[in-house]
Amino acid sequence: MSERVIFGIDLGGTTAKLGLFSENGVLLEKWQIPTDIRDKGKNILRDLAASVRVRMSTGRFTAQDVIGIGLGVPGEVLQDKTVEPCVNLNGWGGFYVAGAFSRMCGIPVKAVNDANAAALGELWKGSAQGARNMYFVAIGTGLGAALVIGGQIVEGFHGAGGEIGHMIIKPEEKREFGRGKRGRLEQYASASGIACEAKQLLETADEPSLLRQYGEVTAKHIFMHAQQGDALARRLTEKFASELGRALSIISCVCDPEVIVLGGGVSAAGDTLLSAVKKAYKLYAPVATEGTVIRLAALGNDAGIFGAARLMMK
């Protein structure tokens, strides 16, 4: 092989996305494999290594042809490189993941928090190209986030730079939600949060809604029916957007980024959601930051593999 390659991997709770990149950062191919979280995820690295090896063999790459593997993980990567146990992976983690994976593959590996990886991807080839200061919010089952200052990820002192899902925006909240504290942003502005709100609303009100056709209502259903005009779905979406918009205005008050990029699965809800979030943002933001650019992630679900691969460049 004349050109060397890089693997970018985005390890999620359901699937792992893998990408093969040229050494100058062109995505050559992408694919995914299921994540096996049984037994505290003991097969995760073995399965990933097997998939990398298969791709190397079909491409006739030797270990020398591979510059390295960037690996995004759904947990914080601490300063000593330990990955904190990942809730979405049944507690997998608590060890030096990059080191273990590197030994398994015989290839250099760097691990990075998945929200940080997605932020790096958007900064490099997505919605925040050219920005120096950026805040990335990944809206999925839960919330993740990453702060970029001067083109660099700010890890945060406790590796908790992206804990925005935990900001208590409604201290008066009485209802429990998951294992975290009550009234945190995640309770309102995440896929699991809006699904939970929908369930409660459908149970307590007898207003007709197309959402009643589903055994288990998901965020996807809600955003889809909101777009199609279902009044109850629309109210849920507006509340979601309002809380998220207010949280983004708070982020602007704290660190005044140039661009805020919304990624993660929920960002697929598209322009309806985006414009509602922007409207709420403007309502709450101080005048000086009313003009902050808010954009959807351009790379969608690929942001993570791009950012992970970026880690191994230069």
Residues near its own copies (CB under 8 A) are: 76, 133, 145, 147, 149-150, 154-161, 163-169, 171, 180-181, 246, 249-258, 284-286, 288-289, 291-292
CB 263 within 8 A of CB 122: yes
At closest approach, how far in Å is the CB of 135 from its own copies? 8
At closest approach, how far in Å is the CB of 257 from its own copies? 6
At closest approach, how far in Å is the CB of 155 from its own copies? 8
- Give the Cα separation of 140 and 265 in Å (integer): 5
Nearest to 42 by CA among 105, 95, 102: 95
At closest approach, how far in Å is the CB of 296 from its own copies? 19
Residue in the block written with tokens 């351009």: 298
At closest approach, how far in Å is the CB of 289 from its own copies? 5
Parallel/antiparallel/unpaired status of strands 134-139 and 143-149: antiparallel
CB 29 within 8 A of CB 19: yes
Nearer to its own copies, 22 or 289 (CB): 289
| Beta partners for residue 109, in sequence order | 69
Nearer to its own copies, 168 or 224 (CB): 168
- Give the Cα separation of 266 and 85 in Å (integer): 24
Nearer to its own copies, 34 or 171 (CB): 171
At closest approach, how far in Å is the CB of 297 from its own copies? 19
In a 10 Å sphere around its CB, with 0-12 CB exposed, 13-18 middle and 19+ buried, how is residue 11 labelled? Answer: buried
Nearer to its own copies, 25 or 156 (CB): 156
In a 10 Å sphere around its CB, with 0-12 CB exposed, 13-18 middle and 19+ buried, how is residue 180 labelled? Answer: middle
Nearest to 95 by CA among 104, 87, 85, 109: 85
Nearer to its own copies, 10 or 163 (CB): 163
Nearer to its own copies, 141 or 292 (CB): 292
